[in-house]
C-alpha cells in the first residue's frame, strides 16, 4: 500500500469514519485513471497496434428455434426494480421500495426563493406518500418510539416560498431515519444552513441529498460488511449508515463554471467543532457508493471544486438552546467552525 493511500485512509478515519469507503473508492479510481493514461500513452507511441479482444459470438443457426421464452414472464408483470419518481414544486425524489427510503432527493434554491416566507412548518404535517404503493411505503408508525428523527433530505427551511412547497418536504419519501440530538438537530442542521448561505455568493444552488449504506471493517476477522438497523413493527425502514450531499453552485449562466462539492457524513453524533472539510469527498466516491451518477453531462472544463472556490465552514447556531427558551425569542449564537484541508480534497 502506497504512502498516499495510507495518508488518505488515516485522514478519513479521523473524520468519524465518514468516508472510509469513499476514500477507498477514490483510491481505486485514481489507479484506474493512471492505468488508462498509461495505456493511452503506449498506444499513441507504439507503431504496433494492440489487438482488442472481442468475445466470440455463437449465433444460433437460422433453422434452430429456441425451446424457451424467458421474456414470457413479462406477460404477468415486470418484476422491477421500480424507482418511484415524484416531481413536486419543491423537490424531485426517487424512492427505494426495498429500503423504504429515498435514493436521492433534488432541490434548487436561490436568493429569491429563500427570501420569500409564505410557508410555515407549523401548518405542515408528516405524511405517508400516496404515490407509493401501500405495501412499499414508509409508515408514520415505523418511526414511533424508534429512537430516530424523521430526517428531512430537502429541509423545510428551503421551501418557505409557499405553504404547498413546504408541505412537499413533509412526505416520508423525503425522510430517512436520522440520529436526532448531535446530528439531525445539530451538525446536519448547520450543514443545511451552510447550503443556504451559499446563495449569498452563487445565484443558483442545486443540491442532491440521500442515504448511503456503507461497509464497515469487522475488527475480529478483518472482513468488510454492510450492517444497518431496520425500524418499524414489523421491521420496515432501513436506517442509513451515512448521508451524502452533492452540491452544484452555479454562476447563473448556462455555460459558466459550476462549483461542485460532495460530502459524506455518518449518521451519528458529530461534534459541532468538526470541520466540514473533513467530510468532503470526490463526487465519484459518492457515485461508486450509491450506484448513481450526478455530473455525466457537466464537462470537466466547467467544473470547479466548491471548497477551493469558497470557504466550506459551518456557522453554529444554538438551535437546541433556542428550543429550551419556551415562548421567548433567543438570538442564535454564531460560531464559525474551523476548516482543515484533507489530502483527499485536492480534486473533484
Q: Which residues are marked as active site?
A: 152
User: Coil, helix or strand for 210?
Assistant: strand
Cis peptide before 155 (omega within 30 of 0): no
What totals of helices (H) and strands (E) does the chain contain, helices first? 9, 16
Place of cell 460532495: 262
| Cβ atoms of residues 246 and 195 within 8 Å | no
Q: Are strands 258-266 and 242-250 parallel, antiparallel or unpaired?
A: antiparallel
- Please report how the helices 20-45 and 3-13 are oriented relative to each other, as an axis angle in degrees rounded to 10: 150
Beta strands in the chain (DSSP E): 83-87, 92-96, 101-109, 149-152, 175-178, 204-212, 216-217, 224-225, 230-231, 237-238, 242-250, 258-266, 280-281, 303-305, 315-316, 335-336
In terms of Cβ atoms closer than 10 Å to its own Cβ (0-12, 13-18, 19+), residue 207 is buried
Q: Spell out a b/e string for 97-127, using b for 16 or more CB atoms within 10 Å of the CB, else e.
A: bebbbbbbbbbbbbeebbeeeebebeebeee
Question: What is the C-alpha separation between 119 and 98, in angstroms, rounded?
Answer: 32
First-to-last alpha carbon distance for the chain, in angstroms, is: 23
- Residues 6 or more apart whose CB falls under 8 angstroms from that of 269 comprise 179, 181, 182, 183, 186
> d(Cα 40, Cα 46) in Å, to the nearest integer?
10
Q: Is the dihedral of CA 175, 320, 118, 114 positive or negative?
A: negative
Helix axes 20-45, 283-290, angle to 10 degrees: 110
Amino acid at each position: 500500500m502506497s504512502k498516499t493511500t495510507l495518508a488518505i485512509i488515516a485522514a478519513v478515519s479521523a473524520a468519524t469514519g465518514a468516508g472510509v469507503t469513499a476514500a477507498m473508492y477514490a483510491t481505486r479510481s485514481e489507479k484506474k485513471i493512471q492505468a488508462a493514461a498509461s495505456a493511452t500513452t503506449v498506444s499513441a507511441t507504439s507503431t504496433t497496434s494492440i489487438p482488442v479482444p472481442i468475445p466470440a459470438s455463437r449465433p444460433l443457426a437460422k433453422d434452430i428455434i429456441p425451446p424457451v421464452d424467458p421474456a414470457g414472464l413479462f406477460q404477468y408483470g415486470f418484476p422491477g426494480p421500480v424507482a418511484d419518481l415524484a416531481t413536486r414544486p419543491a423537490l424531485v425524489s426517487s424512492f427505494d421500495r426495498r429500503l423504504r427510503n429515498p435514493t436521492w432527493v433534488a432541490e434548487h434554491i436561490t436568493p429569491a426563493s429563500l427570501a420569500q416566507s409564505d410557508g410555515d412548518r407549523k401548518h405542515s404535517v408528516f405524511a405517508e406518500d400516496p404515490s407509493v404503493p401501500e405495501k412499499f411505503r414508509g409508515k408514520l408508525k415505523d418511526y414511533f418510539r424508534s429512537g430516530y428523527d424523521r430526517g428531512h433530505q430537502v429541509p423545510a427551511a428551503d421551501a418557505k416560498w409557499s405553504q404547498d412547497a413546504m408541505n412537499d418536504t413533509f412526505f416520508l419519501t423525503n425522510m430517512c431515519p436520522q440520529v436526532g440530538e448531535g446530528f439531525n438537530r445539530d451538525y446536519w442542521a448547520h450543514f443545511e444552513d451552510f447550503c443556504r448561505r451559499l446563495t449569498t455568493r452563487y445565484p443558483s444552488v442545486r443540491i442532491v441529498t440521500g442515504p448511503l449504506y456503507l461497509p464497515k471493517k469487522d475488527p475480529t476477522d478483518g472482513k468488510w460488511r454492510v450492517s444497518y438497523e431496520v425500524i418499524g413493527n414489523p421491521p420496515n425502514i432501513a436506517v442509513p449508515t451515512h448521508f451524502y450531499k452533492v452540491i452544484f453552485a452555479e454562476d447563473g449562466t448556462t455555460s459558466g463554471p459550476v462549483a461542485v462539492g460532495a460530502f459524506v457524513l455518518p449518521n451519528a453524533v458529530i461534534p459541532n467543532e468538526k470541520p466540514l472539510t473533513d467530510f468532503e469527498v470526490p463526487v465519484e466516491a459518492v457515485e461508486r457508493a450509491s450506484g448513481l451518477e450526478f455530473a455525466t453531462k457537466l464537462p470537466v472544463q466547467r467544473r470547479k471544486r466548491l471548497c477551493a472556490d469558497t470557504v466550506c465552514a459551518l456557522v453554529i447556531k444554538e438551535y437546541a438552546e433556542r428550543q429550551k427558551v419556551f415562548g421567548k425569542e433567543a438570538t442564535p449564537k454564531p460560531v464559525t467552525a474551523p476548516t482543515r484541508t484533507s489530502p483527499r480534497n485536492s480534486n473533484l
